[in-house]
Structure 1
Amino acid sequence: MNNYDVIVIGGGSGGLTVAAGAAQFGAKVALIEQKSGLGGDCLHYGCVPSKALIAAAKEIHEVRKNGMKHGLEVKGVTDWSVIRNQIQSAVDTIQEHDSTSRFQNLGVDVHHARAVFLDEHHLRLSSGKTIKGKRIVIATGSSPVIPPIENIEQVKVITNESLFYMEHLPERIVMVGGGAIGMEMAQALSRLGSEITVVDHSDMLFKKEDKEIAEKMQKEMEKELTIHLGARVNKLENNQGEITAVIEGEQEKRVGIDALFLAVGRKPNTEKLQLDRAGVELDEEGAVVVNDRLQSSVSHIYAIGDVNGQFPFTHGAGEEGKIAVSNAVFGLKRKMNYENLPWAFYTQPEIFHLGITEEEAKTKLGEDYTVIRASKADRMIAEQDDTSFVKVILDKKGFILGAHGIGANASDWMQILVMMKTNGQKIRELSSIVHPYPARTEIVKQLADQYWRKKLFESNITKLTSKYISVFR
């Protein structure tokens, strides 16, 4: 039997961070991944292929839109096989960095197998081996939820795990779910030529976002997509080979479809691990319950990434991996803090989210906060971009509580606010940072102008300076 200092179950972003970090610090490490390649959902089914798809869809959309704008007629049908090859090329290029051989060269024992717990220290692999670990890190990620839909077997079902490897692009798709995955893919597939109908049970899209941002974004999405809110798809009907989705809401509607895309949420991959043998506690959703040090109910077993249900984004899993390495390998007691972790939706325009929303500020602080907004920076005006918008929530001292943006490349030009919030800098410090004119980041610098306008021109200071100038200058 092989004994390890650290066993990592799952070869995604979080698991690879732990395996590489622990091995480089001298620990004896085993990495278990049931698929033939490392990289996890992000590389094979999520972040990488989806952004490659979005980029291709954006290019096609821009060609058509700008051609029409300038009097050109653009015709033709998208070649899905070409786009699929571009997606695979992006995955293959990044896969080289996440190769099995790279981790083996770091000293990691890589096992491509499934694992189940025998007890709190021992794992049985599908290869037949039994291994033991002083510390174990669970990083098995999550999978798409498949909702109960009557007659679902009669139509092609798509999830993020099958989308990028389809042979053909369906003509008519009903997108069940209007979350991040649903809206990113709905918009991209629509731009590639599919007829997309989005169905979501909520009364509003992007409900976790600041309401002002969500409302702006919903209007943008409605320009390109047919959207039914407060509705569900509970069954499909087959009328002589024509498949229809029955959309149940305020009014019942029927939509002919060629495929059903399921994006209603994700569930933690814990079901097959037999964690009860190790005494690891799960919550009602099947996620591993962890403390702020990422320890499960069994102190030497950690859980990071989607499997713990805390922050379902790849960069969050990477940060949790760093904390897990510190605590599992060195016995430190570092705590995971999510307050300064942003997220973004890579729709067009993009959404950026950091910290609390204005609605959350009202609930937590009453009236003890300030909101500053900015829009229409010169670069955006020059590019006829009338959508870009920034909103920041501040405490009374000018520290950033939340920052929210919408616009082209918002995930890039909002990053300076992440640095400022992380470093505890006040919004006024933006005034001392010079941006090359007319960079898109000027929209963020406008926030400092708004702040000073409120602080100076709406206060008694203006009266004092006016009197000083009239008397002494």
Structure 2
Amino acid sequence: MADYDYDLFVIGAGSGGVRAARVSAAHGAKVAIAEEYRVGGTCVIRGCVPKKLLVYGAHFAEDLRDAKQFGWDVPEPCNFSWPRLRDNVLREVDRINGAYTATLTNHGVEILEERATVSGPNQVTLASGRTVTAGRILIAVGARPAIPACPGHEHGITSNEAFHLDAVPKRILIAGAGYIANEFAGIFNEFGSKVTLINRTDVILRGYDESIRDRLLQISMLKGIDFRFHAEFEGIEKGEDGCLTVTMSNHEPITVDCVMFATGRVPNTDGLGLETAGVALDDKGAIKVDEDSRSTCDSIYAVGDVTNRVQLTPVAIREGQAFADTQFGGKPHRVDYENIPAAVFSHPPMAGVGMTEAQAKTKLGSVKVYQSDFRAMKNVLAGRNERALYKMICESETGRVVGLHMIGPDSPEILQAAAIAVKAGLTKDDFDRTVALHPSMAEELVLMR
């Protein structure tokens, strides 16, 4: 057997890479992990964790307005300090970064704080010039925000920079209609920005259930967010006053203080040296892998967003776990990608698991759809005319729940438990036999007709 410096060398210390490195080391492998920025990856450093903290901060805007109906006298206007929230969020990011680093160190994983590239099937070259060998190489470098190639694109920011702004922009244009665009639209709107969201098509949140995403669009417009559809960038010009004038197809130009691109993500495979080992990429630059996360080179594997399978942190973690258990733990298993729950932390949030109504009709033919359209008790007393919508899609003959989708307060928290029932293949009758927990929003799951 060949003698290598390491049993496993991981490139990229995000969620998937960290899990794979830690578990492989726990199984007895000699492991090193290289990270050119900070341990934690997109989710911890510049993604879901700091974004969710901003979402919490944004929710206070509505809660403070609603507080009067619940007996609280809140001064008007309430002063909001963006620098205080921003710095507190970044401080929390630092704490989690430290925790991730300590976890790796405590498991005996060697951390190399520099860029690493592949220079052969079992060889990695570090930015310092050092070359090391490994029995297996795992690529877990994630993805980065895509930036449109329009004139003046250098004047825009992405979600990466949104966490470091000096101030909340008075006017912001957000390009895109996926979860990142809609989440930041809600955040900045609650912080007092005038938000305009533009998209190349007239569909937001493609892949989510149509009824749920339409409800979000309606509520977002009522909250004051402007949408411009069938709008493609033509250019961005920066004036002497620092303001940005955006020209686009099918619409008049608009002048804003900030432009944010949320137009998808690109796998970080550029300049990684994968061609030296015969690692094949797809047409989007993602690494092609099989069910065991193995690339077209037998000694090189990949997990997480760089494979463009399912771009969700918990999925990357499971892929890293499965890789480590299979390759070093003697417990081979694969990730099950069916019925993965997902959420959009918009205002209000939405969540779903399983097939949408359209997908179910295409795949199953005949389906039964149950709905509950209601106002949460809190919204009723607050005088907020904002309705939640829960939707259950069932197989006609068996009643098996094949999809569950919702929008409303705390939807992601409610869906996580309900997703277990969908994953287990339970039926509408199983839901109906469960006594409602009253008064709660979640009780609507067992009361749908």
String of CA shifts for 1:284-318, please: whole Å, max 9, x gaps.
11000112222111233221111000111111111
% identical equivalent positions: 29
CA distance in 2: counterparts of 1:386 and 1:256, whole angstroms: 30
Paired position in structure 2 for 1:92: 94
Contact preservation (8 Å) 2:137, 2:300: yes
String of CA shifts for 1:318-338, please: whole Å, max 9, x gaps.
111122112222466533221
Alignment of 1:250-265 (within 5 A): 250=250, 252-265=251-264
Alignment of 1:162-241 (within 5 A): 162-224=161-223, 225-238=225-238, 241=241
Compared with structure 1, are the counterparts of its residues 107 and 385 closer, same or farther at alpha carbon in structure 2 (3 Å cutoff)?
Answer: farther
Contact preservation (8 Å) 2:147, 2:153: no
Q: 1:17, CA displacement in angstroms?
A: 0.9
Paired position in structure 1 for 2:246: 246
CA distance in 2: counterparts of 1:110 and 1:243, whole angstroms: 43
In structure 2, stretches of 5+ residues that fail to align are none
Q: 1:30, CA displacement in angstroms?
A: 1.0
Given residue 114 of structure 1, which amino acid in structure 2 is its aligned partner? R
Is residue 422 of structure 2 the alignment partner of residue 424 of structure 1? Answer: no
CA distance in 1: counterparts of 2:119 and 2:305, whole angstroms: 23
Contact preservation (8 Å) 2:244, 2:259: no
CA distance in 2: counterparts of 1:369 and 1:184, whole angstroms: 31
Alignment of 1:133-152 (within 5 A): 133-152=134-153
String of CA shifts for 1:101-153, please: whole Å, max 9, x gaps.
33122111111111111111100111332221212211101111111121234
Alignment of 1:5-24 (within 5 A): 5-24=7-26
Alignment of 1:50-69 (within 5 A): 50-64=51-65, 66=67
CA distance in 2: counterparts of 1:232 and 1:137, whole angstroms: 37
1:98 aligns to what SS in structure 2?
helix
2:5 aligns to what SS in structure 1?
strand
Q: Which moved more, 1:259-268 or 1:88-97?
A: 88-97
CA distance in 2: counterparts of 1:381 and 1:88, whole angstroms: 32
Paired position in structure 2 for 1:465: none
String of CA shifts for 1:365-420, please: whole Å, max 9, x gaps.
22x22212224387567656752221111122122211111111101112232111
Paired position in structure 2 for 1:387: 387
CA distance in 1: counterparts of 2:255 and 2:376, whole angstroms: 45
- 1:371 aligns with one of 355, 366, 369: 369
Cα RMSD for the two superposed structures: 2.3
Q: TM-score, normalised by structure 1?
A: 0.87
Compared with structure 1, are the counterparts of its residues 176 and 152 closer, same or farther at alpha carbon in structure 2 (3 Å cutoff)?
Answer: same
CA distance in 1: counterparts of 2:242 and 2:153, whole angstroms: 14
Contact preservation (8 Å) 1:142, 1:267: yes
Paired position in structure 2 for 1:345: 344
User: Relative contact order: is structure 1 or structure 2 higher (C-alpha 8 Å, sep ≥ 6)?
Assistant: 2
Contact preservation (8 Å) 2:22, 2:103: no
Paired position in structure 2 for 1:470: none
Compared with structure 1, are the counterparts of its residues 304 and 376 closer, same or farther at alpha carbon in structure 2 (3 Å cutoff)?
Answer: same
2:326 aligns to what SS in structure 1?
helix
In structure 1, stretches of 5+ residues that fail to align are 451-473
Is residue 40 of structure 2 the alignment partner of residue 39 of structure 1? Answer: yes
CA distance in 2: counterparts of 1:297 and 1:409, whole angstroms: 42
Compared with structure 1, are the counterparts of its residues 279 and 117 closer, same or farther at alpha carbon in structure 2 (3 Å cutoff)?
Answer: same
Contact preservation (8 Å) 1:180, 1:345: yes
CA distance in 2: counterparts of 1:184 and 1:381, whole angstroms: 21
Paired position in structure 2 for 1:128: 129
Moved over 6 A (4+): 68-73
Given residue 13 of structure 1, which amino acid in structure 2 is its aligned partner? S
2:160 aligns to what SS in structure 1?
coil
Alignment of 1:75-86 (within 5 A): 75-86=77-88
Q: Which moved more, 1:341-350 or 1:394-403?
A: 394-403
1:397 aligns to what SS in structure 2?
coil
CA distance in 2: counterparts of 1:211 and 1:166, whole angstroms: 34
CA distance in 1: counterparts of 2:301 and 2:175, whole angstroms: 33
Compared with structure 1, are the counterparts of its residues 238 and 94 closer, same or farther at alpha carbon in structure 2 (3 Å cutoff)?
Answer: closer
Given residue 405 of structure 1, which amino acid in structure 2 is its aligned partner? M
Question: In terms of Rg, which structure is larger?
Answer: 1
2:234 aligns to what SS in structure 1?
strand
Contact preservation (8 Å) 2:4, 2:135: no
Given residue 44 of structure 2, which amino acid in structure 1 is its aligned partner? L
Compared with structure 1, are the counterparts of its residues 385 and 435 closer, same or farther at alpha carbon in structure 2 (3 Å cutoff)?
Answer: farther
CA distance in 2: counterparts of 1:69 and 1:249, whole angstroms: 47
CA distance in 2: counterparts of 1:170 and 1:220, whole angstroms: 22
Contact preservation (8 Å) 1:22, 1:29: yes
Contact preservation (8 Å) 2:177, 2:203: no
Contact preservation (8 Å) 2:367, 2:393: yes
Given residue 237 of structure 1, which amino acid in structure 2 is its aligned partner? E
Contact preservation (8 Å) 1:64, 1:74: no
2:431 aligns to what SS in structure 1?
helix
CA distance in 1: counterparts of 2:22 and 2:204, whole angstroms: 38
Given residue 369 of structure 1, which amino acid in structure 2 is its aligned partner? V
Q: 1:26, CA displacement in angstroms?
A: 1.2
Alignment of 1:408-423 (within 5 A): 408-423=409-424
Q: 1:205, CA displacement in angstroms?
A: 1.4
Compared with structure 1, are the counterparts of its residues 58 and 3 closer, same or farther at alpha carbon in structure 2 (3 Å cutoff)?
Answer: same
CA distance in 1: counterparts of 2:103 and 2:247, whole angstroms: 49
CA distance in 1: counterparts of 2:333 and 2:221, whole angstroms: 44
Contact preservation (8 Å) 1:4, 1:134: yes
Q: Which moved more, 1:171-180 or 1:403-412?
A: 171-180
CA distance in 1: counterparts of 2:28 and 2:70, whole angstroms: 60
